[in-house]
Amino acid sequence: MSSTWPILQRLSLIMITFFLQQFFTNTSHGDVGTAARYSPPYSPTACYGSDPSQLPSSNLFAAAGDGIWDNGASCGRQYLVRCISASQPGTCVQGQTIQIRIIDSVGSAPSLPSSNGTTMVLSTTAFQTIANASVVAFINIEFQQV
Ligand SMILES: *[C@@H]1O[C@H](CO)[C@@H](O)[C@H](O)[C@H]1NC(C)=O
Ligand SMILES: *[C@@H]1O[C@H](CO)[C@@H](O)[C@H](O)[C@H]1NC(C)=O
């Protein structure tokens, strides 16, 4: 009888570890990165040239930073993006997620980003939907390809 207890204890530890791992895996939906913003002109783009009809009419689009540009394979990819924090508290619009399409690379975009070296650079419309744009040059984001 007494020799079964260590086994039961070990089993419950394994099970607790397993459930904790499941919990944290399931609640993390995407990658963490940073996003700056840029302003018009947005065209011409590295993905679509000078054809403005290729830009989403919602204006929810972004230029890809080096980490996700993928040599142009990222053109047209769509990401869910939400603001998770910023240097200034209260910058993020809580509970707001946007879906953006990659239309350009940051390096070849016709206008400069508000901050260099971010994961992606959002259109003004996209940035303003998830953050108080007047306060910071970049925000920390969670993003997930869809
Ligand atoms: C980003 O880098 C470019 C080129 O070095 C520079 O002209 C620009 O001022 C930088 N932007 C910011 C926000 O620091
Ligand atoms: C954005 O931040 C500024 C400066 O802190 C503040 O005055 C303004 O009310 C904020 N706007 C929103 C929509 O939260």
Between 4 and 54, name the one with better pLDDT: 54
Distance 142 CA to ligand 1 centre (A): 24
Average confidence (pLDDT) over 27-42: 89
Q: Which ligand minimizes its atom distance to the CA of 116?
A: 1
pLDDT, tens digit, for every residue of 83-102? 999 999 999 999 999 999 99
Q: Using 50, 70 and 90 to split pLDDT, how confident is the model at 13?
A: confident
Mean of all residue pLDDT scores within the chain: 90
Q: Which residues neighbour 130 within 8 Å (Cβ) at sequence distance 6 or greater?
A: 81, 82, 83, 92, 93, 96, 97, 98, 139, 141
Q: Which ligand minimizes its atom distance to the CA of 118?
A: 1
What does the pLDDT read at residue 34?
98
Distance 132 CA to ligand 2 centre (A): 6
What atom of ligand 2 comes closest to residue 88's alpha carbon? Answer: 5
What does the pLDDT read at residue 2?
56
Q: Kindly tell me if the per-residue pLDDT of 3 is higher than 90.
A: no
What atom of ligand 1 comes closest to residue 36's alpha carbon? Answer: 13
pLDDT, tens digit, for every residue of 107-125? 999 999 999 999 999 999 9
Which residues form the pocket of ligand 1, taking CB atoms under 6 Å from any ligand atom? 112, 115-116
What does the pLDDT read at residue 28?
53
Pocket test of ligand 1: the residue of 66, 108, 112, 115 to mutate, having most ligand atoms within 8 Å of its CB, is 112
Average confidence (pLDDT) over 49-76: 95
Distance 118 CA to ligand 1 centre (A): 12
Separation in Å, CA 50 to CA 1, 54, 69, 106: 78, 9, 19, 16
Atom 4 of ligand 2: nearest residue by CA position? 135
Average confidence (pLDDT) over 17-24: 62
Phi, psi of 124 (to 5 degrees): -55, -45
CATH architecture of 31-145: Beta Barrel (2.40)
